[in-house]
Structure 1
Amino acid sequence: MRPWLTTVIDDHLRAVTGYMVFLDAPSALNTSLALRQAIWRKADAAWTVCGIPDALYVDHGSDFTSDHLQQVAADLRIRLIHSAVARPQGRGKIERLFGTITTELLPELPGHLVAGRPASPPRLSLAELDRAIGAFVVGTYNLRPHSGTGAAPRETWAAGAFLPRLPDSLEELDLLLVQHAKPRIVQRDGIRFEGLRYASPTLAGFVGEAVTVRFDPRDLSEIRVFHRDRFVCRAISEEHAGEAVTLKDIEAARRAHRLALRAGIGERIARVANFLPISGGPAQTAAPPEPPSRARTRLRLYEEDD
């Protein structure tokens, strides 16, 4: 499988501020995870660039035109700008970054394709590829002078004494970026969501009330419950307490269950068919019964006496 790469770069610094490498098709969630890394402080002290951007330039891919990304931009006060269709203005910097990664980093990794075939056996896991891209971004790309600015992105960031705009906490950022919102009604036994039951003692006072459920698709073992935009509680799925179960896990289980049901129905139909007579040709219709024959009366002759 070929992985996808979503990157975020600072237009002024030419610095890579965040990225996300994944195997699934591009989605609003993967874009949000790249933004999460771009905005929040990095664990690596050498990767200092962070902050909420004033504007975000994107193309017209489905992951960039989703309602979720529109809401994220509104919540974080980011001006979302889509490039004109068939006019890739403003996307050249990203394309050049991809070109640099393709020509400088990927040829050094096992499994790199040459003329459509791997030059060496592919041995990298997704996590190893992620680390390789991160090391290249932090240790090479952000440290060397950029041809467009003449300065290294990291040096430009340090010299500018930038004061980044940041959320109050990483949890607040996750609440806006990663977690999706869905309406639900609180039942007596808790909240039913994605086929799971979520419970919390706090929900007892909200039975029958409409609430908003916020969830992380990467971990559905718990949800956050809001009532009229006010945080109420965290509700736990007792069935999956202490383990991470993703939305994809649940969807895959549903698909497997549907396939099993279809297979079971097919087997039952086949068993029933075995008990039915096999027809060798068109059905023969019985001739209608003939009406009962009526006895024919005979003429009797009598001689008359003279």
Structure 2
Amino acid sequence: MSNRPLIDPLTDSLADLTEAERSDAMRRFEAIRPHVLHGVSLAEVARNGGLPLRSLQRWSARYRAAGISGLARCRRSDTGKRRLDSDLVAVIEGLALGKPRLSAAAIHRRISAMAAAQAWPVPSYAAVYEITRALEPALITLAHDGPTAYRDRFELIHRHRAERPNAIWQADHTQLDILVLDAGGTPARPWLTLVLDDHSRAIAGYCVFVGAPTALQTSLALRQAIWRKTDPAWPICGVPDILHVDHGSDFTSRHLEQVAADLRIELVFSGVARPQGRGKVERLFGTLNTELLPELPGHLVEGRPASVPVLSLSQLDAAVGAYIIHTYNLREHSEIGASPRDAWIADGWMPRMPDSLEALDLLLVSVAASRRVRRDGIHFQGLRYMDPTLAVYVGEAVTIRYDPRDITEIRVFHRDRFLCRAVSPEHADRTISLKDIEQARTARRRALRADIATRTAKVAAFLPQPQPAQQTCGKPPVRPKPKLSLYKEDRRP
């Protein structure tokens, strides 16, 4: 027996062992621990533990010679090496990477027949399975799912952050996992457009709408993002240097290109079908879908509503706005170590702003309508708008521009020259969206139709209904003969 002193198991290095070998060595050490540390005879340890005495003697000797690492099973010299022919292994790997994708069982059936024909040893199913499992996931993804899936899962990406606020903004759309009631009271799945500051992760603007994304929704979100907010808790504003968007038709429109040129914004388009360039705003969509929407009625779970949808589009708009202003923008962001609002404010700076809101509306808000100034103001969507400036334009044709989310105020232009902001006196202290008016009109029509149905039902209940004339079965009705004949041909024999 070696005279080497006992090795402390807490200081003995097991770094060169695999997890299985380390576990096996520790199990054997626990078996001889009473003998090694407390001097109990191996015979007594064998009786108490039910282990062979010869095994305990061998383990004890190996422990005194090499420590705990010496208790691990000796590795075979051919560990990790296959006994199969290299050509056979290559054929199995080729079948696993071919199209259509084959299961391990299908590959085993094919390779067994081929091995018998080539006088090779037939591999077991376990051997075929291990060969297919040993292939790189990236190789399998590229072979079966194509370069796009490989790029999205395995290619390196460069995670960047803008050096300062308003240097780069990201804009994108997503369809929300919720149902709302549209203007007709029909459940519809809305869309959300977000404008995000790359440096601070702060949300600068948004737009909730029903229907496919268009340049109008993008313009409304940008208008809100660029101009100063009425809520002091939402200070994010200004014109960005770069706007990062995708290749959607609304982002590649001539309207947005003209707006970017006038405001001196550089448009940067991400690669087609490559969302990596907009990863921050894509991640934010996931946050909204998992944090906010499950708390609202009509939330979709696996494509089905978890509760009855009752929210209107304007109510969802208000819920999204409250979450953005009072939760997301004020909560510390894990990647930047500060709240998006504080990161955007930083040490204080002046954002680049348009000359006026009217100039911004003339560029962005493409919702325009022609109206004629009447003696009592401008009539639009059942509302009346007044401003003293309109007094000298009575009878003149003007162009009005408005925000569909709040039509209590319109902007009036005469021959492309801004005149004034006209307000609806009856609703000056309220915010009314175009969707609210459409919903109110629809509700009114439904109420009138229900009233009509109720009143006509009374008539049917108290007055006898005319009975249809009875006809002889199988015979056409007899036409009466005319009493007066004007021509000889009309006379019948």
Q: Secondary structure of the equivalent of 2:333?
A: helix
Partner of 2:329: 134
| Displacement after TM superposition at 1:206 (Å) | 1.7
Pick one of 288, 291, 296 that aligns with 1:106: 291
Q: Within 5 Å, which residues of 2 pair with 1:160-179? A: 164-169=351-356, 173=360, 177=364
Pick one of 238, 244, 261 that aligns with 1:51: 238
Q: Which amino acid aligns with 1:250?
A: I
Pick one of 444, 447, 468 that aligns with 1:279: 468
Distance 1:73 1:275, change over 3 A: farther
**1:203 and 2:378 aligned:** no
**1:253 and 2:448 aligned:** no
Give, in whole Å, the separation in 1 of the partners of 2:431 and 2:282: 36
Q: Is the 8 A contact 1:212 1:225 kept in 2?
A: yes
Partner of 2:282: 95
**1:18 and 2:204 aligned:** yes
| Displacement after TM superposition at 1:155 (Å) | 7.2
Q: Secondary structure of the equivalent of 1:277?
A: coil
> What is the TM-score of this pair, normalised by structure 2?
0.42
Moved more, 62-71 or 221-230: 62-71
**1:231 and 2:418 aligned:** yes
| Displacement after TM superposition at 1:213 (Å) | 0.9
Partner of 2:161: none
Give, in whole Å, the separation in 2 of the partners of 1:242 and 1:17: 27
Distance 1:236 1:129, change over 3 A: closer
Distance 1:254 1:32, change over 3 A: same
CA deviation vs aligned residue, 1:144-170 (integer Å, no higher than 9, x gap):
39xxxxxx99779969x9874222456
Partner of 1:183: 370
Q: Secondary structure of the equivalent of 1:129?
A: helix
Larger of the two Rg values belongs to structure: 2
Q: Is the 8 A contact 1:223 1:234 kept in 2?
A: yes
Give, in whole Å, the separation in 1 of the partners of 2:284 and 2:301: 21
Which is helix-richer, 1 or 2?
A: 2
Distance 1:202 1:171, change over 3 A: closer
CA deviation vs aligned residue, 1:212-244 (integer Å, no higher than 9, x gap):
112232332332212122222333334434433
Structure 2 unmatched runs, 5+ = 1-176, 179-189, 306-315, 484-493
Q: Which amino acid aligns with 1:279?
A: P
Distance 1:207 1:56, change over 3 A: same
| Displacement after TM superposition at 1:200 (Å) | 3.5
Identify the structure with bigger relative contact order (alpha carbons < 8 Å, sequence gap 6+).
Answer: 1
Distance 1:207 1:264, change over 3 A: same
Partner of 1:300: none
Give, in whole Å, the separation in 1 of the partners of 2:261 and 2:291: 36
Q: Is the 8 A contact 2:195 2:206 kept in 1?
A: no
Structure 1 unmatched runs, 5+ = 119-123, 146-151, 292-306
Pick one of 389, 393, 408 that aligns with 1:221: 408
Q: Secondary structure of the equivalent of 1:91?
A: helix
Q: Secondary structure of the equivalent of 1:197?
A: strand
Say what the alpha-carbon RMSD is for the aligned residues. Answer: 5.0
Distance 1:197 1:98, change over 3 A: closer
Q: Is the 8 A contact 2:200 2:344 kept in 1?
A: no
User: Across the two proteins, how many residue pairs are aligned to each other?
Assistant: 271
Q: Is the 8 A contact 2:245 2:269 kept in 1?
A: yes
Q: Which amino acid aligns with 2:282?
A: E
Give, in whole Å, the separation in 1 of the partners of 2:219 and 2:241: 16
> What is the TM-score of this pair, normalised by structure 1?
0.61
Give, in whole Å, the separation in 2 of the partners of 1:84 and 1:281: 74
Moved more, 170-179 or 181-190: 170-179
Q: Is the 8 A contact 1:181 1:214 kept in 2?
A: yes
Give, in whole Å, the separation in 2 of the partners of 1:133 and 1:27: 26
Q: What percentage of aligned pairs have identical amino acids?
A: 53
Pick one of 381, 391, 398 that aligns with 1:194: 381
Give, in whole Å, the separation in 1 of the partners of 2:386 and 2:435: 22
| Displacement after TM superposition at 1:32 (Å) | 4.5
